[in-house]
Every structure is written in C-alpha cells, then in structure tokens.
C-alpha cells in the first residue's frame, strides 16, 4: 500500500475511543521480567525444553471465555470514507496464576518455566499473570510452603477477577505427598479451573510423587472450578486391569495433569470451554488424605490413552530407546550406605547422558547456572530432564543459601554429599575434568578470583601459589582439591600442602565459633 507524501492527515481514532468499547486495553510490560535470575549476558543462554513456546500459546484458545456468543472478533472495513469502526472489544476479567515449584530438582527447568511465563504473558485473554512460588522441598507442615505475599497478590480467594491456575512442577518435592498442598488446591479450585503442568514426560510420571490415572471428564460450566467436573471411567482398557481403580468419591478432588506440550494443553482447553467428555490424565485426591495422594490400589496407566476420536487425549510417543529415557525421577532420597555404593547404584540406573553429566559436575563448583552451563556445553543433546535426575538423585545437597533458586551465579549453592564427588571423579577421565576446569575458569574467573588459572593448575596438578584460604574461596578451593586428588599419577606432596591449608582454616573457624 502507498500513501501520499503530502497533504493533511485525518485522525479517525484516539485512545479515548477505547473507553466506549468496554474499557481500556491492557498495557503490558514487554518483555516480562524473568521469574528466575538469568546468567550474565556474556554466558550462553540456557535452552528451554523444546516446544514450550507452542505449549504456552495453546492457551490462546481460552480467549473464547471472554467473548459474547456469536462474536467472531473480526474487523469490518467499509468502502465508504470515514472513521473505521472498532471491533467489539471485551476487556478481560481473567487472570493467569502460575504456581511454580522451586523444589530441589526444579532448577533444571527454570529456563523452561521462564520461557512459558514470557509466552503466556503475551496472550490477550489474561489481564495479568501472577507468579506464586511453591517450596516443595520443605516439610509438609512448613508455614512458608507457599509464598504468602504472592498468594495474597494473586487474589485467589478475594479478587472478583476469574483465574486460570496452572501448577508447574516435576512432582519430586517431599511436600507433594503431604496434605497442605492439596488443601490449598482444593480451596482455589472450588472457584477456578486448576490443572498441573508436569515438566517430565508422561513415561516418567510414575517415578515422581504424582501418579495419575486416565478418566473421562466433563465440565458443566465453561471456565468453572474443578468441582463442576463430572467423571466416568474410560470404556477401553478399564476391564483389562487386574486391580481396578478406586471409584471417585463425592468429595474427591479431581486435578487434570498434562505434559507441557501443545496437544495436551489443547485437550485440556476443550474440557474448560465445552461440555464434551474429554479423556485426561488426572490425580484423584481424597477429601482428607492421610498420607501420599495415591489411593490404595490406584491404577497407574502403563500405556497411552486413546489416540483417535474426539475424546482421545494426547499420550506419550512410542517408547524411546534407552538413550532417550531418563532414569528414575523420585523424591530426593536420603543418603544411605557408603558413598561409593550410592555412586555405583546411581550410575547403574541412570541413562548414559545423565551419568556423563553427573561425572562432569563432580569437577565443578555447583550452582544452577554452572550446572546448566556444563550440561549445555559439554553434554551434547542433554535435556533439562537429565539435570533434574542428577538433582533428585540424593547425591547432591543444597548448601550456603536458604533459597538457592535466587542465588547469584558466582556463589556455591550445591555440593555433593561427602565421598560422592571423589567417587564420581574416580570414574571420569582426566581430559574431561580439565575441560570442565577450562569452562569454569572462562566464565567465572572475571568475578571469582579463586578460579583464575584453574585450568592450568588442573593440567599440571599444581596448587595455586601462596594460597590463602578464606570463607569466600573455601568452597571453590575444596572442589579444586578434590579434582587434583583424582588426577592420575603421584602428586601426594602437592595436594597435601593444599589440604593442610584448608584443614587449618576450617579448624581455626571452628575454634572461633566455639569461643
């Protein structure tokens, strides 16, 4: 289209015109602030799970919740001159509330979560997107399981605005088997539709605390809470089970559970928008669960739900080979047995990529940024599920900070349990450990003096000259010592000098605290 370069322009609309068509348009901050602090700009950007942007945009079909019947939202432009009429504009009365798990294994999924939040933020349906953090690694009776300020700000109980509540989790935290989470979800879902977005693939759900079963669901009210959902057993496959699933009782809470993939979310949107029977994977939570949320005798689906017909729910793809299936993803296990025995058990059950990643991480000072850096740069084709498996293996613990999800990139916030790092390093090649040292020095040395020259010291097995151990560099020096001790050859005198300095500092600090 071309326009004249000269002549008067006629302004036919203004921002005030929108006031007469349902209220002002929402002004979005773009791009939204990440939920979790990103690494420095000079670091490689961590990669989210593939397809997450398409999964978030699948929620766009819920825009029908704010339209009048028969309104197709199209813009008609007449041929006659004059002002162009507005398309009917309906200001949104809906918010999106994302309850984001920050449990011990969730840092592996933070880039995926941030990508999903950013894409959901751009959907026109939602007047606002609220973030509520869930600390599922805490005990069930903890007062701060949910962040109180963000729960209040989301207005889940008092605000007149309607909500769509999605819980983003991998289902590993210990609190998932308790009561408090489900009490809150029961309260919120009484009015608002609530579903779980499981970050792990469906094939791995039985290895988390969230064991689902297939049910047919139908909502009697578009956009209604979970209490408006009717249930019935699927016709296919139910009779073949040796242990029938427990029936859904009147007071049970039914929570749809989806993979973070476009077909799964589209199928759930059909449930929210229509009165059709839709088959979903669901959690059925008793009115007052006495322990784990899985009912006695509850069936865990081993195969995909129907893949054709209007009621078919998306299911997992054909079973992938051993390279593609991560090992067990369970709640963080308490260390048991000897450190070497735990290492052997983990490496025997983990996928090859996960085992390789764990051995590489043993040569690095750990926080979520460094772990994602090592996975991205040194483990080709790794996925967030591989790092999540390492974090949930029971080999790693949180140290140094109460909330490691908010920790800066130059702090150590995770460490292996005693003896585990040495056990992993003894099974790793010197060349790979040196590559980790090069990567750590390249990205951390501008802000962490303790890792300057690290690659050369690892290559020649030489401790830093005139080493002075202090509280700031102690976690980095301890990792370096572990790597040097695992190097081939006889370097006892070299590492003993470094070890004596560390032990002297630790002993002096212990005496100072006692005094």
Read off the pLDDT of residues 180-195 as tens digits, 9 standing for 90 and up.
899 999 999 999 999 9
344 and 263 belong to one structural domain: no
DSSP at 237: S
Co-location of 207 and 60 in the same domain: yes
DSSP character at residue 335: P
Rounded CA separation 120/131 (Å)? 12
Contacts of 69 (CB under 8 A, 6+ apart): none
Q: What is the domain extent for residue 50?
A: 22-68+88-285
Average pLDDT over residues 416-423: 94
- What confidence tier does 30 reach under pLDDT thresholds 50, 70, 90? low
User: How far, in Å, CA of 415 to CA of 397, rounded?
Assistant: 6
Mark which of 239, 264, 285 sits at the end of a domain.
285
Q: Work out how many domains the chain is built from and give that number.
A: 2
Average pLDDT over residues 369-386: 93
Is residue 300 domain-resident? no
Kindly state the average pLDDT of the residues 124-142.
85
Whether the pLDDT of residue 137 is over 50: the answer is yes
Asked whether residue 325 carries a pLDDT value surpassing 50, the answer given is: no
Q: Are 168 and 197 in contact (CB under 8 A)?
A: yes
Q: Quick one: 263 and 349 in the same domain?
A: no
Per cent of the chain over pLDDT 90 is 42
379 and 231 share one domain: no
pLDDT at 316: 33
- Report which secondary-structure segment, H or E, holds 457: helix 454-460
Residue 356 lies in a domain: yes
* Phi, psi dihedrals of residue 19, rounded to the nearest 5°: -65, -25
393-406 pLDDT per residue, tens: 989 998 876 665 67
Highest mean pLDDT among 34-38, 286-290, 293-297, 476-480: 476-480
**CB of 282 closer than 8 Å to CB of 236:** no
Same domain for 256 and 394: no
Residue 306 domain-assigned (yes or no): no
- How far is the C-alpha of 172 from the C-alpha of 168, rounded, in Å? 12
Least Cα distance to 376 among 396, 361, 389 occurs for 361
Torsion of CA 346, 283, 162, 60, to 10 degrees: 70
Of the ranges 74-78, 101-105, 356-360, 463-467, which one carries the lowest mean pLDDT score? Answer: 74-78
In a shared domain, residues 279 and 346: no
Domain annotation covers residue 107: yes
% helix / strand / coil in the chain, to the nearest 5? 35, 10, 50
- Which residue(s) pair with 279 in the sheet? 216
250 and 359 co-located in one domain: no
d(CA 363, CA 428): 9
pLDDT for 422 equals 93
Q: Please check whether residues 400 and 269 belong to one and the same domain.
A: no
- Judge whether 303 lies within some domain: no
Neighbouring CB atoms inside 10 A of 16's CB total: 8
Give the end of a domain, one of 265, 285, 305: 285
Residues 356 and 424 in one domain: yes
- Dist. CA 202–CA 319, nearest whole Å: 11
pLDDT band for 435, please (50, 70, 90 cuts): very high
Mean pLDDT of the chain: 79
Cα(448)–Cα(507) distance, rounded to whole angstroms? Answer: 24
Looking from the CA of 449 toward its CB, the CA atoms found within 13 Å total 8
pTM (global) more than 0.85: no
Residues 375 and 273 in one domain: no
Are 209 and 135 members of one domain?
A: yes
Contact residues for 122 (Cβ-Cβ < 8 A; gap 6+) = 28, 30
Q: Is residue 316 part of a domain?
A: no
Mean pLDDT of all residues in 77-90: 46
Residues 46, 151 share a domain: yes
Residue-level pLDDT at 90: 56
Q: Domain boundary at 262, 285, 308, which?
A: 285
21: confidence class by pLDDT, cuts 50, 70, 90: very low
Per-residue pLDDT of 327-366, as tens digits, reads 334 444 444 568 899 999 999 999 999 999 999 999 999 9
Report the pLDDT value the prediction gives residue 28, as an integer from 0 to 100: 55
Confidence of residue 236 (pLDDT cuts 50, 70, 90): low
Q: What is the pLDDT of residue 356?
A: 96
Please tell me the distance from the alpha carbon of residue 71 to that of residue 63, in angstroms, as a whole number: 12
Q: Is residue 510, in this structure, part of any structural domain at all?
A: yes
In Å, the largest CA–CA distance within the chain is 92
Given a cut of 80, is residue 48 above it in pLDDT?
A: yes
Of 482, 479, 449, which is closest to residue 466 (Cα–Cα)?
449
Determine, yes or no, domain membership for 15: no
Q: What are phi and psi of 40, to 5 degrees?
A: -55, 155
Q: How confident is the model at residue 449 (pLDDT cuts 50, 70, 90)?
A: very high
């Amino acid at each position: 289209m071309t326009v004249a370069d000269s002549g008067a322009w006629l302004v036919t609309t203004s921002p005030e015109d929108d006031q007469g068509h349902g209220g002002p348009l929402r002004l979005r901050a773009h791009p939204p602030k990440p939920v979790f602090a990103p690494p420095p700009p000079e670091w490689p950007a961590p990669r989210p799970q593939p397809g997450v942007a398409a999964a978030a945009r699948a929620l766009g079909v819920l825009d029908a919740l704010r339209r009048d019947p028969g309104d197709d939202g199209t813009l008609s432009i007449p041929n006659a001159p004059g002002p162009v009429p507005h398309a009917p504009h309906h200001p949104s009365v809906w918010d999106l509330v994302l309850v984001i798990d920050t449990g011990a294994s969730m840092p592996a999924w933070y880039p995926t979560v941030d990508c999903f939040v950013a894409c959901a933020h751009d959907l026109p349906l939602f007047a606002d997107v609220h973030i509520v953090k869930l600390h599922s690694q805490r005990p069930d009776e903890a007062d701060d399981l949910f962040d109180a300020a963000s729960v209040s700000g989301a207005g889940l109980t008092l605000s007149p605005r309607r909500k769509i509540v999605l819980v983003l989790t991998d289902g590993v935290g210990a609190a998932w088997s308790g009561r408090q989470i489900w009490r809150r979800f029961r309260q919120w879902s009484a009015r608002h539709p609530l579903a779980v977005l499981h970050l792990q693939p469906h094939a791995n759900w039985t290895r988390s605390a969230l064991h689902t079963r297939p049910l047919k669901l139908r909502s009697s009210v578009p956009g209604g809470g979970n209490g408006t959902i009717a249930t019935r057993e699927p016709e296919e496959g139910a009779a073949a089970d040796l242990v029938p699933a427990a029936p859904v009782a009147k007071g049970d809470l039914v929570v749809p559970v989806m993979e973070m993939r476009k077909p799964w979310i589209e199928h759930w949107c059909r449930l929210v928008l229509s009165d059709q029977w839709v088959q979903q994977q669901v959690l059925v939570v008793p009115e007052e669960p006495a322990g784990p949320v899985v009912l006695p005798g509850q069936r865990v689906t081993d195969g995909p739900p129907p893949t054709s017909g209007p009621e078919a729910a998306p299911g997992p793809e054909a079973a992938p080979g051993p390279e593609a299936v991560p090992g067990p993803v369970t709640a963080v296990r308490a260390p048991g047995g000897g450190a070497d025995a735990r290492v052997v058990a983990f490496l025997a059950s983990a996928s090859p990529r996960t085992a390789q990643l764990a051995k590489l991480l043993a040569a690095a000072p750990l926080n979520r940024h460094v772990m994602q850096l090592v996975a991205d740069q040194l483990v080709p084709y790794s996925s967030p599920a591989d790092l999540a498996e390492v974090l949930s293996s029971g080999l790693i613990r949180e140290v140094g900070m109460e909330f490691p999800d908010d920790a800066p990139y130059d702090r150590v916030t995770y460490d292996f349990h005693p003896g585990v790092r040495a056990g992993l390093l003894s099974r790793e090649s010197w060349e790979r450990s040196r590559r980790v040292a090069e990567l750590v020095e390249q990205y951390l040395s501008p802000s962490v003096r303790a890792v300057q020259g690290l690659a050369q010291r690892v290559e020649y097995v030489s401790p830093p000259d005139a080493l002075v151990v202090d509280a700031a560099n102690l976690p980095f020096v301890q990792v370096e010592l572990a790597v040097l001790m695992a190097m081939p050859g006889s370097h006892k005198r070299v590492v003993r000098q470094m070890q004596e300095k560390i032990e002297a500092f630790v002993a002096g600090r212990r005496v100072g605290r006692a005094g």
